[in-house]
Amino acid sequence: MGSTNPFNDNPPSTNKRIFQLSLYSFLPILFLCLYFNLFSLTHSPTQLLHSTSIFTYNSSISSPPPSTFNTEKNTAYDYEKSCDYSNGDWVSDMREPLYNVTTCDTIKETEKCTTNGRPDLGYLYWRWKPNECNLPRFEPNTFLKLIQNKHIAFVGDSLARNQLESLLCMLSTTSTPYLVYQNGEDKKFRRWHFPSHNVNFSLYWSPFLVHGVERSNEGQYYNTMFLDLVNERWARDIDLLDMIVISTGRWFLLPSIYYENGVVIGSLNCPEFNHTQMDFYVPLRKTLRTTLNSIVERKVAKGNGIDVIVKTFSPDHFEGDWNKGGGCSKSKPYRKEEKVVGGMEGEIRRIEIEEVENAKVKAKQFGGIRFEIMDVTKLALLRPDGHPGPYMNHFPFANGVQKYVQKDCLHWCLPGPIDTWNEIFLEVMKKWG
């Protein structure tokens, strides 16, 4: 099996290898550039957020997001009324996962870590313990009852797919889903139906949520994003949806050209065009705002409600150079005090939380529209052991140690730590009632 760009969700293919190798050699430089640009322009990410110049986005129903400090406090307070699941520790738990590769057939090949030959199974035996409460084990029946007669969409990047596949595996331990629709390269658009509860799940590939063209190995090396236009590939179905789970962030790290009102407003790491070089934080904020605004506007226009959950950024754990076989070799979680959410993942998370808070305020004037954040950044950050690594490939070392084996330290093994995201998802829905 060939290599896969972890940003991508394409099926591995050997003829893409050359392009990917060059991408990988570019990425470390990209990261350096990102950090350099950011921290040379402003002294700290916090200052960047506080600078007024970044809140110039204008939309008929948008208002500037509340200030960072207030938002953080409010978010923590709102969430803690039931339980703050975002901070805690991974503790040992000898219970078997609800499912395995034999009992679930919706797992992508590159995430079937055990059947791909991963020898250590310790990563399966950990449970997320929030600081002030317990996170109950996933209950498939309760989940299905809560979403009876509903259509739920997972929209965004490959981590949306990864999470939905985990959810389907857990639900299929009590009820069988039927794949009723499939389209697009690498099955990027799919729909499943659970006749038992008249529940539908849709998967929409849309890594920046807005209209645009993704970078590709065959085409341009950069993304093109239209920050003020929502991607109709999923948005045209908003009427059909009762709930949307959003996963975004990862693709913003790649070189990109940004459009607003049909004109280029800047670009990230596309030097040959002489656009204004800009970091991706402002574009990320704008795409989220465009997306959340569009959902509200369209639902209000139709007079019906919707629930929207935005999952926060999930960090990767590549060690060393991406292009020199850099992998994720740890076999145990970090303890909570070993890692703090900071730097880039902290900023992306902060923007996501702020935009959800902002949307909550707007949605208050209309009934029936609820927004919630699913804050997984810290619990994901603590799990360097939960990725496929070289075991994204089927028995990668069957013919001895290879010179170069592509590793995936971004997506999550199934079963694995991503199952916890769905335990939190269930708690959010229980809270909603």
| Residues at the interface with ligand NAG (CB under 6 A) | 58, 60, 100, 102-103, 149-151, 180, 193, 198, 200, 273-274
Report the residue number, 2 or 122, with the smaller CB distance to ligand NAG: 122
Report the nearest approach of ligand NAG to the CB of residue 111 (Å): 15
Q: C-beta of 24: minimal distance to ligand NAG in Å?
A: 26
Nearer to ligand NAG, 118 or 151 (CB): 151
Enter the tokens of residue 94: 């000898």
User: What is the helix (H) or strand (E) element at residue 227, kind and residue range?
Assistant: strand 223-230
Residue 38 DSSP SS3: helix
Selection from 337, 433, 326, 344 nearest residue 387 by Cα:
326
What is the closest distance, in whole angstroms, from the C-beta atom of residue 2 to ligand NAG in the complex?
A: 26
| Least gap, CB of 401 to ligand NAG (angstroms) | 26
| Least Å from the CB of residue 194 to ligand NAG | 9
In whole angstroms, what is the distance from residue 264 CA to residue 228 CA? 12
CA gap 157, 150 in Å, rounded = 22
* List of long-range contacts for 116-121, beta carbons under 8 Å, 24+ apart: 116/388, 116/391, 116/392, 116/393, 116/394, 116/395, 116/396, 117/391, 117/394, 117/395, 117/396, 117/397, 117/398, 118/388, 118/389, 118/391, 118/413, 120/331
Distances (CA, A) of 245 to 133, 200, 238, 308: 24, 13, 12, 6
| Active-site residue list | 158, 408, 411
Which CB atom, from 193 or from 233, has the smaller least distance to ligand NAG?
193
If the CB atoms of residues 20 and 106 are measured against ligand NAG, the closer one turns out to be: 106
Using the minimum distance from each CB to ligand NAG, give the nearer residue, 200 or 247.
Answer: 200
| Tokens (6 digits) for 195 | 């006749």
